[in-house]
Amino acid sequence: MKFLAHAAIAALVMCVAQQAHAAEIKVICIPAWKASFEPLLQQFERDSGHKVTVHYAIFPDQQQQIEAGDFDVALFAAPQVEDLIKQKRIVAGSSVNIVRTSIGVAVKTGAAKPDIHDEAAFKRTLLTAKSITYTKQSQTGVYLTRQLESIGVMDAIKDKLILQPGGAMTTPAVARGEAELGIVLVSDIVGTPGVDLVGPLPQSLQNYVTQTAAVGAAAKQPEAAAAFVKYLASPAAGAVFKAKGFEPAK
């Protein structure tokens, strides 16, 4: 199965690579992609001859690079990409929905997994936890703050919240034992050693976000960028994303 997946990726990449010379492709995206990109980029670079460099950061921390036009491919939530198209920072018609993300709960590897099967159980778990962490300024963090306020637990848990200032910090904090619970994208949990996935948030609190890839309007390597976007949308790449905690785009 693995051989067939690699063969499919190779065939796809070799086809699109014939249309462009070897190039350096600059990608900007959220940290949730890192675990998936490690195997995928190796395959893409090997078969296409292109070099891919990635800047991982939550969307608010990418603004300087976005404003400078210093990227070939942007990979963010669909509404953010749509805004960039309106700002003429993304090539209209180049965007492709790749996967969707969901939010889950993490504990340190080997720790007991609390009950979060429905909203009531999740609230009880939050109230009894010793410490809880999530990323404050990310899209997920902003959403979580609203949800915690809406279910009436924010005042009770605010003194035990550990709010992370940037991406890729929540799950490592749980792995180090600095927080009992982490609330973050499922893909972050699956991709971080030292943590276990308790499960996704209850459906009443869940937030599914479609992640979209597109070519930058000021891309220095537009053909290679388009080839990379096509590669990310391939079934073989989709199998890797699924294994890393992403879901198919709807």
**What digits encode the pLDDT tens for the residues 128-160?**
999 999 999 999 999 999 999 999 999 999 999
Question: Per the CATH hierarchy, to which homologous superfamily does domain 103-200 belong?
Answer: Periplasmic binding protein-like II (3.40.190.10)
User: How confident is the model at residue 159, as a pLDDT?
Assistant: 98
CA–CA distance, 172 with 174 (Å, rounded to integer): 5
Q: Where are the domains of the chain?
A: 2-100+210-248, 103-200
Under the banding of pLDDT at 50, 70 and 90, the label for residue 11 is low
pLDDT tops 60 at residue 56: yes
Average pLDDT of every residue of the chain: 93
Q: Quick count: other Cβ atoms within 10 Å of Cβ 105?
A: 26
Under the banding of pLDDT at 50, 70 and 90, the label for residue 13 is low
User: How confident is the model at residue 18, as a pLDDT?
Assistant: 46
Domain 2-100+210-248 shares a fold with domain 103-200 = yes
Q: Which two tokens stand for residue 52?
A: 């891919």
User: How confident is the model at residue 99, as a pLDDT?
Assistant: 98
* Mean pLDDT score, 90-107: 98
User: How confident is the model at residue 19, as a pLDDT?
Assistant: 46
Q: What is the CATH number of domain 2-100+210-248?
A: 3.40.190.10
* Mean pLDDT score, 21-27: 92
* Mean pLDDT score, 120-124: 98
User: How confident is the model at residue 4, as a pLDDT?
Assistant: 46
- Give tens-digit pLDDT for 158-177: 999 999 999 999 999 999 99
% of the chain surpassing 70 pLDDT: 92
